[in-house]
Amino acid sequence: MMPPYNWSLRQVADDIGVGIATVHGWRKQLELEGLIIRKVEPGAQQTPEQIFTILLETASLSEYELAEYCRKNGLYPEHIAEWKQNCLTANQPKHRQLVDEQRAVRADKTRIRVLEKELRRKDKALAEMAALLVLQEKFISPPGQRRGRLTSYPERQRIIGLIKEAANNGARYAQACRIAGITHRTFQRWFCNGRLKPDGRPSALRPDPANKLTENERLQVLQVCSETEFASLPPSRIVPMLADRGIYLASESTFYRILKAENQLHHRGNSKPRGTYTRPVSYTARAPNQVWSWDITHLPGEVKGERYYLYMIMDVYSRKIVAAEVREVERGEYAAALLQRAVIVENCRNNGLILHSDNGAPMKSFTMLAKMYELGVCSSFSRPGVSNDNPYSESLFRTLKYCPEWPADGFTDISKAREWVHSFIRWYNTQHRHSGIKFVTPEQRHQGLDKTLLKQRTVVYETARCLHPERWSGKTRNWTPIEIVALNPENERRAA
């Protein structure tokens, strides 16, 4: 009945040829003497004596025998392993046990400190993010748009107050200043020694320039301009007339500045006053089918006065001709049909497409505008009386009419015109190396192949430079792809 056999009462009785009651009595006697332990039900509480006996019985058992023993006695191997560990721990020297406990306590304290530090960091980060979001809502348009901007005292008070409020709510000053549109150094300069300093430039005492006119010279300029001889003349004529007489009072710009300061410089005469002109809205394209440009041009016939009308739509980003048609008249219905065909082919309906054109009758016809609304296309028009607000279509028409295959004598009929336009579009989209897109074809750029081609060109140039560095005085040619194409670029408008 003891390991490693663990026979049952029936097996023992049959083996020695006695009754089962006799074997049961022998077992009770052995249990009273402590030689064996009673088999307990699963979950029953074990006494220390029973645990010690179990450990003795299982000390020499293998894993398989231990599992069999545990199943027969209603135990788990984990229980025996735990009891064994408790026994080993109890028999360790007290100082060793104390050292292990102290080491475990220190490890727990270290882990707790690390977790608390990480928790504090995350709490601070969340508080800072919330404070910055609140601050950003209060700064819809940050004031820091250019360096050296004059900021009034009330505006400074508002900015400093909002930054300090965000800092009190957990935000760092540098991050709060960035949201407010100023630098941390500017904040320190404005708020110094616990008080807000106003901008000292308005109240600064500046010495007069050395070349400033005296008061008598200013009066002399005003007196000359008010004389009968010069009363109707502008300074641009007064100054040369005085120079012919050997008199120099001041430059023309000084004359204008003095007259303006005295409120004597206004528009006179029957000419229209110079007005202020609004700049055209500049749409930008970063991918195909974002901004299109379209226009109508004339194709001459063989008979003088006879003409055909070429409707053409191009993609501003890739310069690809997405649709074209030759008609005998200008009509909004033809333009609407062409636009619908282009949108279907390019699959860009309701994608926020911008269609730019001039102010011609077909462009602003009700049929065309209704079709654009139906297709989800936004309209963009040139400014009235301005001929260069649609440059991409005009440049395309120049390429079309100045190509070597252009028929100098005109087209015999509309079918010949359509055939020629079809061949031109195929050549332009697939073979023409466009200078405005780094000399790749419009079709390659439209399909997104230009970046790979330009990278290959860069590798070729760098290889050639490595072979003969003496032939290169500087960097190789820039083959970087053009990422953004603007309908009316800002730098071009400023230069104009």
What is the distance between the alpha carbons of residues 144 and 163, in angstroms, rounded to a whole number?
Answer: 14
pLDDT along the chain (496 residues), means of 10: 64 78 78 61 65 85 86 86 81 66 88 93 90 81 62 88 90 89 88 86 84 91 93 90 90 93 87 69 89 94 91 96 95 94 93 90 90 91 68 92 91 94 96 92 95 92 90 87 84 42
Same domain? For 172 and 245 the reply is: no
| One domain, residues 337 and 428 | yes
Would you state the torsion angle of the CA atoms of residues 417, 419, 425, 431, taken in this order, to the nearest 10 degrees? -130
At 291 the pLDDT is: 94
27 part of a folded domain: no
pTM: 0.49
The whole-number pLDDT of residue 226 equals: 92
Supply the pLDDT for residue 41.
Answer: 46
The DSSP line for 203-237 is T---PPPTTPPPHHHHHHHHHHHHSTTTTTS-HHH
291 plus 249 within the same structural domain: no
Q: How far apart are the first and last CA of the chain?
A: 110
pLDDT of residue 200: 84
Domain of 131?
126-196
Report if residue 28 sits inside a domain. no
Residues 328 and 439 in one domain: yes
Last residue of a domain, one of 230, 261, 292: 261
Are both 386 and 290 inside the same structural domain?
Answer: yes
What's the Cα-to-Cα distance from 469 to each of 126, 303, 455, rounded to whole Å? 55, 60, 20
Q: What pLDDT shows up at residue 43?
A: 43
**Which two structure tokens, joined as six digits, stand for 409?**
């004598």
Give the pLDDT of residue 142.
52
Q: Do residues 159 and 228 share a domain?
A: no
Q: What pLDDT score was predicted for residue 387?
A: 58
In a domain, 237, yes or no: yes
Given this model, what pLDDT does residue 91 score? 65
- Helix %, strand %, coil % of the chain (to 5): 50, 10, 40
Both tokens assigned to 284: 């930008």
Question: Would 21 be classed as within a structural domain?
Answer: no
pLDDT at 102: 82
What is the structure's pLDDT at 96?
63
**Tell me, what CATH number does 386's domain have?**
3.30.420.10
Same domain, yes or no: 185 and 233: no
Residue at which a domain ends, from 424, 446, 468: 446
Report if residue 24 sits inside a domain: no
Please check whether residues 367 and 435 belong to one and the same domain.
yes
Is residue 306 situated within a structural domain?
yes
Residue 192 shares a structural domain with residue 219: no
CA nearest neighbour of 392 among 295, 311, 323: 295
Same domain, 294 and 186: no
**Cβ pair 239, 251 in contact under 8 A:** yes
pLDDT recorded at residue 337: 94
Would you say residue 396 lies in a domain?
yes
Element spanning 196, H or E: strand 195-196
Burial class (CB in 10 A: 0-12, 13-18, 19+), 496: exposed
Residue 381, domain member (yes or no): yes
Q: 361 and 428: one domain?
A: yes
Number of structural domains found in the chain: 3
Q: Are residues 235 and 328 in the same domain?
A: no
